Amino acid sequence: MIAEVLTRKKSRPFKGLADYLNGKPGRVETNFFINCSFDDPELNLKEIKALQTVARSEADKTYHFVISLREGEKLNNDEIRRVVNMHLKALGFENHQALVTAHNDTANFHIHVGVNKVCPETERTISPYKDFEKLDKTCGKLEKIFGLQQDNRIGQRTNKTKRLYDGRQSFQEWVSDLSPEIMNQVEKARSWSDLHTALAKYNLCIRQRGAGFVISDRDNKLFMKASAVDRKLSKKSLEDLLGSYEKTELRKLPKPDLVYEGIPKGVEKQNLIFTEFKDSEATKKQTRNEKLNILYDQHGKKILLLKDWYTDCKQDLQKDWFMAKRERNMVLNRHRQTMKEKLDQYYRELQTQKSEIIRKTSPVGWKTFVLNEAQKGRGDALYILRNKPKKLVSSEKSFSIIKRSKIIAPGFNKVSGHGELIYTFGKVQLRDAGNKLNFFGDFSDEKGLVEALKLVSTNYDKSLVINGSHLIKRNISDVIHRNKIDLEFMNFKVNQGRGAEKQDRGR
């Protein structure tokens, strides 16, 4: 379970959010209001609008977050209410009006929650502090309560572990994988010097931090608790063995044989895409530094020119013997105010230009980089995405067909995180997973279903094997027969008899 806060650059009325969440009834599993006075949704929206109008704050008065479950997991109405109430309590919104809408239009069942940030008691607009951490902790508790699969927690994204949620191997995972080899070297150490030398082979060092020791990378700010690697690396164990901790000069240590590079799992270091990714990140970093240095130089020159201007004005006033002292001070104050306003303007311009440079040169991360390359139709990028572990989910509202063709059919809308080419036809969605075509959505939309099946007929094999319920097989076969689509399912015929139906049902 993961909770994410959704923000907008421009605020919109609560009713606008409600219209968006409930605009497509086909995808709404359930929806209800919390802490509202009426059973009629329209009256509840008017009540929320009235309270938001009373608040004096000009800040956005609507808070929107979404709770997403893993594929195949789902909650009933009572569980949804309990999950939402626990999140609202964690955020301090337990008495606030809220709209809850659960959607089932994606592979992940998810719950949207729109909250009125205006407190009904004080009529003040409340913005929760450290809301991401509070939502994350609540998700962790709910996973245990409902027996859900555990997702990666944002609380692990600290300097201790430096988990890379973009698909690369984290520093902690890398050290843990090497722990047997590292401990083999550590157990041979008879002094702190020996221990530092042994760790230097992996570009690591051991340091004091707080009341214990950490294992850290020598070149980057990456570290983890030493005892998490092995209990023999705890402070007590090491000092009992080697005596009090002794520092070492890193520059005197030997060069490492192995260095942490954050290589994604299942990807070779020499992989073309990974090489392009590293080059892209290095180029962005270099470009950012160059542009920022130029910006800082320009800013410094503007400040010096402004100060020189003020100094010249001040000296000219002092030389003017015919100007009264009071008038001279008034003019000088005006110049001082002008300089102050200019300084504020220069600082705002600096911050704006700096933010723009950082935005344009921000690293995209491995996962996004591969997704972007896959969006261009690169087969090697799709191969990497499709080899990620994925739980297969079966549903009565979906079916799949096995295909043999390995081509990439044009016209896909986007690429999923697992390398699925996603095609959308009305209310029907077709996902090409490489060796299988998955169909999702509302199959009563026959026009969209026909377009999807025609794409299969045009670009893939004519003879296919369908996986799904007997009812789905019959309905799809009827659609193919009525619309004369050049497709044939090997494990189902349009005109099967009752005996064949029983046989097919048994399969």
- Distance between CA 161 and CA 124 in Å, rounded? 39
| Cβ pair 52, 123 in contact under 8 A | no
Confidence of residue 507 (pLDDT cuts 50, 70, 90): very low
Pairing of strands 488-489, 463-467: parallel
Give the highest mean pLDDT range of 53-62, 285-294, 473-482.
285-294
200, 246 contact by CB (below 8 A):
no
118 pLDDT band, cuts 50/70/90, is: very high
Q: pTM, whole model, 2 decimals?
A: 0.49
CATH topology of domain 2-155: BirA Bifunctional Protein; domain 2 (3.30.930)
Residue 35 has pLDDT above 60, yes or no: yes
463, β-bridge pairs? 488
Q: Which residues of 380-409 are buried (b: 16+ CB within 10 A; e: fewer)?
A: ebbebbbeeebeeeeeeebbbbebeeeeeb
282 band by pLDDT with thresholds 50, 70 and 90: confident
pLDDT, tens only, 150-188: 776 544 343 333 344 466 778 888 888 888 888 888 888
The pLDDT assigned to 74 comes to 82
Residue 5's contacts (CB-CB under 8 Å, 6 or more residues apart) are: 63, 64, 65, 131, 132, 135
- Per-domain boundaries in the chain: 2-155, 171-252, 272-360, 390-506
The HSE-up count of residue 195 (CA atoms within 13 Å, CB side) is: 21
Q: What is the pLDDT of residues 75-95, one digit of tens each?
A: 888 889 999 999 999 999 999
